[in-house]
Chain A
Amino acid sequence: MKGNEAIAEAAIQAGCRHYFGYPITPQTEIAAYMAKRMPKIGGTFLQAESEIAAINMVYGVSSAGKRVMTSSSSPGISLKSEGLSYLAGSDLPALVVNAQRGGPGLGGIQPSQSDYFQATRGGGHGDYHMIVLAPSSVQEMADLTIKGFELADQYRMTAMVLADGTIGQMMEPVSFDFEIKEQIAKPWATTGTKMARKHNVVNSLYLNPEQLEKTNFERYERYEVIKQNETLCEEYLCDDADIIIAAFGIAARVSKNAVNEARANGIKAGLIRPITLWPFPEKVFAKHAEHAKQIISVELSMGQMIEDVRLATSCKVPVTLCCRVGGMIPTPDQVYNAIVEANEKGGK
């Protein structure tokens, strides 16, 4: 199964019955899959007139308390950013997929990780975050989609699956043997009062500054809980590592091969693969900064995650960048060479 199809099927398994989107490469398989499946299971697939309309349809379904998703790729996510900010301001759960491609502007249609800042900082205006999940296999495309729906509902916020064109197009076997948790109640949803309760209002407008401040502080308290409880990452051969690679998504797959090659050649290399990009696994990086000589951030961007790595390690260890951009992907050899170079002359 293709990575993009795994996302779509997982969403259906998670109980999502509403999908809204607008065609854009390289994620169109998600829309196509939904277009085929949704009518057969009593769901809604609607091709919206724009990404902006699609995210606002998501806003509507989410307000009414149902699981809902949209997907797009980088330029489309920029258009959706208005809606992402409103979803955050109204504390609405939603699942959004970004199969990243190169930018800025139209950029290209080849894979990229250059929306890291946009995703982890929220994307739209105002103080807010999304939970950002970074799959590095087709199986994880499915796993993290389901997790995304659950976290979104639990914390009343958007979860973004930040994938890329490569994993979206990649074919791998996927197991759909999930235990889907029962969906939590949403007493705040606008489902009609049925004349049995006070009216519910879904809103992000606070003309009273004290109230807006209070709301923002409360939201950030919730974010602290998420940081404590929901941070995910894979630590691979890190405990004794001198050289640690920081990489997520497709870059992590490449890097793992390079780490294995380095180990085979006697270099103590390891890999930290953040699975949640927000919240970022700061503690794991801080822990390994105590013994590592150097950290190399391997990215399909001009260096975005590297800033979080530096913040997490409080600059206790040199952090360098190994990157390809514009749709190019680093080879295991390129990463291996960076490890060798760091091992020979790098370090603290």
Chain B
Amino acid sequence: MAKVTFREDECKGCGLCTDVCPKGILQLSKDKINKKGHHPAECIDLDQCIGCASCAVMCPDCIIKVER
């Protein structure tokens, strides 16, 4: 059971993680705005996460934690 968590308030909404997710389950939130004023990245279907950490590898702000 894989798990990906974001430090939501530190996300700058660059979207690099969403592009590399092999399952296509990451997106920039359409309705949420974080403390920095960005639409933060979020996982829309955690069940499909395989814990590959591609998102975390590409995250320039080191705010993604991946567990498996």
Decide if A and B touch, CB cutoff 8 A: no
